[in-house]
Amino acid sequence: MLPAKNDFESNVHLHSHSNQLKTGGWGCRNTKRGNMYILITLILVLLHLLLLPVYLYLTWHHKYWRKRGLLTAKPLTLLGTYPGLLTRKRNLVQDVQSVYNKYKGKHRAVGVFVTRQPQILVLDPQLAHEVLVENFRCYRDSLTSSYMQHAKWDKYAKRNPFWAAGDTWRRLRTEAQAGLSANRLKQGYAIWEQSGKKLTNYMAQHVNMHNNILETRDLCFRYTADVMCDFIWGIDAGTLTSDEQGLPNMVQEMASKWTSYAFYMISIFMASIIAPFSRLLLRLRFYPKDTDEFFSKLTKESIELRLKTGYEVERIDYLSHLLRLREEKNATHDDLVGHALTVMLDGYDTTGSALMHALYYLSEYPAAQQKLRTEFLNNATKTKTLDFDKLCDLPYLEQVIYESLRLSSLIPQYTKVCTHPTNIQLNEFKRVEVEQGMTIMIPNYQFHHDPKYFPEPEAFKPERFDNAEHHNLVRQGILLPFSDGPRICMGMRLALLTLKSALFHIISNYQVVRSKKKIKTAGDSGFGVVLQGDINLEYRRFLQ
């Protein structure tokens, strides 16, 4: 009789077991190894079980756009469409460029994923105009304003319209921009005339010491710190008059610290979209605490000084506007500091950087520089001054500034939030619904560098904007250096005046010459693709 199957198997087991005993116990080692394999398998299974929810969390939405009929720019499984946000190997402009190049001209928009979060990338400037201007009602907030819900303790950031949403944004913007009207700037024009003189005096003192070479980034930031401090607080920041050569003073140091901190934090907020609750846990903020304290003290002391000297009636500047807000709207000390900081912090770095780029491009293009100088000389008085209205109306000067802003695109993209459900017409037959809360990015850097809209896009050609063409291009959503619509840059007039006045004073007195080496633009830590490092330019003074 054949043994039953189980008996047979147990025989084999017994047999092999006795063999193992005979051969000195390798079976024992085998069992150990077997156990190890089981353990490893268990660990791997466990790891997968732990990672599965993470994987599902990160990729859950990846079919979002396909389901809604919008073409998807294929995301990387874990990193989304813009991997540079997490890997930091490329900046956002470069990541957006790859997507833009692939789909532009064929589609009005594509669906992308910022890590796991669906977003719309606009590819058609006309759609950008729709979002910023025509359909603003449905895209009222900016992505940065949505961050404030996770940084409520940042008391001055939340008073800046840039970071504000909804009705708070409207109130803050109305309060703040009344102090920046064309009329007020005109009444305070002496500030710019005086800063222009300080700038040329500073240059005259320093060019000889350095073989006519001036590091232009430092020069421009000294100038914008001087103008902004005089306009906002009525004080001489000392950046153009101090004896301490080469050393940034306290105001400049604080403003620069704020800029690098705020930009870094914006990139951290973008990356933390993967786990927004972490922002609350880490109590993230945009304004560093010591700059808050510094500027609060500065505002308090400036108000005390103004009230003591009692010249708020004569001097029209931002401080006189703040004092009126205190009187008429019961604005608190924190409200006043918040408004003052909005102008200083949103205006100092942007305007300084814009001036530096303009001077660099003028040094690269001597014919444009000469044409600008001729415009100045033809319009200035015998005493080499220009009144406010004339300065604001010089056409070539404005073209130079817009062309420089186009090339540098200092704020390279705007991300808006859908605040009211709407839709986008993708083509004649198809449209996509946009849900409330959805974000939509306008890649103005890409528009500004697209040869379709700007032939030879990397060349500096202010003549592109002859006959005020830049205004037409803004209306078409193609040229957006200050954005457009109700959330257009609040300080645009202030920035233009500051740039125009500085260029008038520098270019009428100096020939700006580039060194032999061309300075290249490169992607910076988070946003722009701009001139990097020291910008050493030669300034040759004209004989009077």
Residues near ligand HEM, by CB under 6 A = 142, 161-162, 173, 342-343, 346-347, 350-351, 354, 405, 410-411, 414, 481-483, 487, 489-491, 494-495
Tell me how far, at minimum, the Cβ of 452 lies from ligand HEM, in Å: 22
CB under 8 Å to 148, separation ≥6 — which residues?
154, 157, 158, 163, 164, 165
Tell me how far, at minimum, the Cβ of 302 lies from ligand HEM, in Å: 17
Which residue reads 């939340």 in tokens? 158
Q: Which is nearer to ligand HEM, 84 or 412 (CB)?
A: 412
- Which residue of the chain is nearest ligand HEM when measured via CB? 491
Tell me how far, at minimum, the Cβ of 284 lies from ligand HEM, in Å: 19
> Is 86 within 8 Å of 79 (Cβ atoms)?
yes
Q: Which is nearer to ligand HEM, 294 or 482 (CB)?
A: 482
Q: Which is nearer to ligand HEM, 75 or 481 (CB)?
A: 481
Tell me how far, at minimum, the Cβ of 456 lies from ligand HEM, in Å: 22
Q: Which is nearer to ligand HEM, 279 or 406 (CB)?
A: 406
- d(C-alpha 485, C-alpha 35), whole Å: 69
DSSP classification of residue 305: H
> Is 107 within 8 Å of 114 (Cβ atoms)?
no
Q: Which is nearer to ligand HEM, 394 or 490 (CB)?
A: 490
Q: Which is nearer to ligand HEM, 64 or 482 (CB)?
A: 482
Tell me how far, at minimum, the Cβ of 528 lies from ligand HEM, in Å: 10
Q: Which is nearer to ligand HEM, 75 or 347 (CB)?
A: 347
Tell me how far, at minimum, the Cβ of 413 lies from ligand HEM, in Å: 8
Tell me how far, at minimum, the Cβ of 182 lies from ligand HEM, in Å: 14
From the CB of residue 232, how many other CB atoms can be counted at a distance below 10 Å? 27
Residue type, 224: T
* Helix 190-207 and helix 216-233, axial crossing angle in degrees, nearest 10: 150
- d(C-alpha 157, C-alpha 256), whole Å: 16
Tell me how far, at minimum, the Cβ of 79 lies from ligand HEM, in Å: 24
Q: Which is nearer to ligand HEM, 145 or 296 (CB)?
A: 145
CA angle 136, 139, 141 (to 5 degrees): 115
- d(C-alpha 99, C-alpha 96), whole Å: 5
Q: Is 525 exposed, middle or buried (0-12, 13-18, 19+ CB in 10 A)?
A: exposed
Distances, alpha carbon 244 to alpha carbons 11, 236, 249, 330, in Å = 97, 15, 8, 40
- d(C-alpha 12, C-alpha 23), whole Å: 16
Tell me how far, at minimum, the Cβ of 44 lies from ligand HEM, in Å: 46
CA angle 511, 225, 177 (to 5 degrees): 110
Nearest Cα to Cα of residue 96 among 408, 409, 412, 407: 412
Q: Which is nearer to ligand HEM, 79 or 535 (CB)?
A: 535
